[in-house]
Amino acid sequence: MTVSDDRNTLIRGARVLGAEAQDVLIEGGTIAAVGPGLSAPDAVVVEADGQILLPGLVDLHTHLREPGREDSETVLTGTRAAAAGGFTAVHAMANTFPVADTAGVVEQVWRLGRESGYCDVQPVGAVTVGLEGRKLAELGAMHDSAAGVRIFSDDGKCVDDAVIMRRALEYVKAFDGVIAQHAQEPRLTEGAQMNEGVVSAELGLGGWPAVAEESVIARDVLLAAHVGSRVHICHVSTAGSVEIVRWAKSKGWNVTAEVTPHHLLLTDELVRSYDPVYKVNPPLRTEADVTALREGLADGTIDCVATDHAPHPHEDKDCEWGAAAMGMVGLETALSVVQHTMVETGLLDWAQVADRMSFRPAAIGRLGHQGRPVSTGEPANLTLVDPAYRGVVNPVGFASRSRNTPYEGRELPGRVTHTFLRGRATVVDGKLA
């Protein structure tokens, strides 16, 4: 480790948010100076010629699996994966065992995050008891706990009862909370295995129609407008969903949305292999959906990228499609996929990447100390990226405990060389500190 906790750091020649090269001096957890030709004799120097300096990335949608499924991920391994991917804050989803539907569980996750030290862990609380969609969980108690929960989600399951959804949207207004909806109409997706369309018809796999997502989003933006609440839509995956969110925003309604890296790149054609590494919820869609999602992220209809990092043990993917678990790991490849799909296609510049992967998600989650500008006096949560790097994804090197990446063997651009959490390096020269 070349960067120790008690020494200052001078990042030299980094293109801050992709702009002109600058020097950035970090002192004791804070950005002390930004400008050309800085000198700091005692500081550890990071030569960042040609690299991009971003605010530390913030993930709104991470499955850390602890408590309950420590065989697939723990808070420690998950936050190490997050740091390796350039993240300084992640939101831990509530579908653990036990479910994070009480102050006790969210505080446990929050405490494990503090102990890990690799990345801030902001727990997400369940909307309903046991994610069962029937009875509101103690949302206020979770908010008032040490974890200070602001985002509530039954992710993995949809809050499909319109009245429960309405009440949840209304109730969390008291403490500026937001409901993050996993939009999946349950009846339309009984036995669903993949996107419903040309490929599912051929493969004979149960179809997951786009309308099952879109109809719930349409209902929820209308509900949010009616009760004057904000609503966040998790992992938008269809062209129709983008249109509905765009329409809702045009009305001035308080709607935000996220897209996963894999929905920006992969399509249901990959399912033809029947390889469960491509089995995910929501499912991979079509090329037309991918195009619409990229456009939506570019024009701001979709606010942010969220990984939906979903680790699973090997045996849950090394099986037949129908028996396999849904989900993909994503923390360690997210920025590369965004560079590949959005930056190198000219759809986003690096300042907009900072917006979609740091500023906006931090604002949605109301994380005051994350997603801040790279300027003097701000907390030193920073990510340094080498955009010229090209490498083939090899999950053997992952910090995550799980290996279920759909990108194995694929060449992707960009590499996180350094990550700083409040001035302390969690990644140095591409390796966990």
Partner 1 sequence: MKRHLISAADLTRDDAVLILDTAEEMARVADRPIKKLPTLRGRTVVNLFFEDSTRTRISFEAAAKRLSADVINFSAKGSSVSKGESLKDTALTLEAMGADAVVIRHHDSGAPHRLATSGWIGGSVVNAGDGTHEHPTQALLDAFTMRRHLAGAPDGGPTRHGEPGDSSGRDLAGRRITVVGDILHSRVARSNVHLLTTLGAEVTLVAPPTLVPVGAGNWPCEISYDLDAVLPKSDAVMMLRVQRERMNAAFFPTEREYARRYGLDADRMARMPGHAIVMHPGPMNRGMEITAEVADSERCTAVEQVANGVSIRMAVLYLLLGGNEPAVGAPIARTEESK
Which residues would be at the binding site for partner 1 (CB under 8 A)? Answer: 193, 196-207, 209, 273-275, 315, 318-323
DSSP letter string, 382-428: EEEEEEEEEEE--GGG-SSS----TTTT-EEEEEEEEEEETTEEEEE
Q: What angle do CA 20, 25, 31 make, to 5 degrees?
A: 95
Shortest distance, position 238 Cβ to partner 1, whole Å: 14
Q: DSSP class of residue 19?
A: S
Question: Please, where are the H alpha helices in 54-149?
Answer: 75-84, 103-116, 139-144
Quick check: 261 and 62 in contact, CB under 8 A? no
Shortest distance, position 424 Cβ to partner 1, whole Å: 43
- Select which of 101, 160, 303, 308 is catalytic: 308
Query: Cβ closer to partner 1: 370 or 405?
Result: 405
Shortest distance, position 325 Cβ to partner 1, whole Å: 13
Q: Single out the residue of 313, 311, 277 nearest to residue 410, CA to CA.
A: 277
Query: Cβ closer to partner 1: 4 or 273?
Result: 273
Query: Cβ closer to partner 1: 285 or 309?
Result: 285
Q: Distance between CA atoms of 251 and 37, rounded to whole angstroms? A: 47
Concerning whether 308 is annotated as a catalytic residue, the answer is yes
Query: Cβ closer to partner 1: 210 or 412?
Result: 210
Query: Cβ closer to partner 1: 196 or 258?
Result: 196
Quick check: 367 and 357 in contact, CB under 8 A? no
Query: Cβ closer to partner 1: 202 or 344?
Result: 202
Pull the structure tokens for residue 377: 């006096």
Shortest distance, position 69 Cβ to partner 1, whole Å: 18
Strands (E), 200-334: 207-208, 231-233, 255-259, 304-305
CB atoms inside a 10 Å sphere around CB 37: 8
Shortest distance, position 318 Cβ to partner 1, whole Å: 6
Quick check: 383 and 53 in contact, CB under 8 A? yes
Distances (CA, A) of 72 to 6, 29, 65, 311, 342: 34, 32, 7, 6, 30
Shortest distance, position 187 Cβ to partner 1, whole Å: 10
Residues catalogued as catalytic: 308
